[in-house]
């Protein structure tokens, strides 16, 4: 389930709106807006990949995502961990916390998440 950069941008607009007609999707883009034919082609490709569905209303289609944003990005994070961190979430977490400019508050929030996960896993 891989999207091109242009498809990811369009999918973001769909995730934000949950359901949208072509006109609404075009309006979501900043200037310069892509051609309607470009967006139609992207939607067709994403529909063919099984990531977008639509409901027809006369001559119009209302599009909606078939995969959640969390599921899509979760798959990519898992692939990233597998390919670049020897399938070790701990190596990924170490890299993430040391190589990004996280504030003390953000690190505390991560710590609370980890502590909660540990508590949930205890029998």
Token code pair at residue 6: 């242009």
Longest CA pairwise span in the chain (Å): 56
Beta strands in the chain (DSSP E): 20-21, 52-57, 60-65
108 phi/psi in degrees, rounded to 5: -65, -40
Strand 52-57 relative to strand 60-65, pairing? antiparallel
Confidence of residue 101 (pLDDT cuts 50, 70, 90): confident
Instruction: Note the pTM of the prediction, 2 decimals.
Output: 0.74
**Per-residue pLDDT reduced to its tens digit, 84-95:** 899 898 888 888
**Per-residue pLDDT reduced to its tens digit, 35-68:** 999 999 999 999 999 999 999 999 999 999 999 9
**Per-residue pLDDT reduced to its tens digit, 6-19:** 999 999 999 999 99
pLDDT at 97 over 90: no
Q: Tally the C-alpha atoms within 13 A of residue 117's C-alpha that lie toward its C-beta.
A: 6
Rg, the chain, Cα only = 19
Q: What's the whole-number average pLDDT of the chain?
A: 92
Q: Tally Cβ neighbours within 10 Å of residue 62.
A: 14
């Amino acid at each position: 389930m891989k999207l091109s950069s242009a498809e990811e941008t369009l999918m973001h607009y769909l995730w934000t709106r949950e359901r949208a007609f072509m006109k609404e999707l075009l309006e979501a883009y900043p200037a310069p807006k892509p051609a309607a034919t470009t967006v139609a082609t992207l939607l067709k490709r994403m529909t063919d990949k099984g990531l977008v569905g639509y409901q027809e209303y006369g001559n119009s289609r209302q599009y909606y995502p078939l995969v959640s944003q969390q599921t899509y990005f979760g798959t990519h994070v898992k692939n990233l961990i597998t390919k670049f961190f020897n399938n070790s979430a701990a190596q990924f977490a170490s890299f993430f916390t040391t190589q990004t400019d996280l504030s003390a508050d953000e690190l505390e929030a991560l710590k609370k998440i980890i502590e909660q996960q540990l508590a949930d896993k205890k029998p």
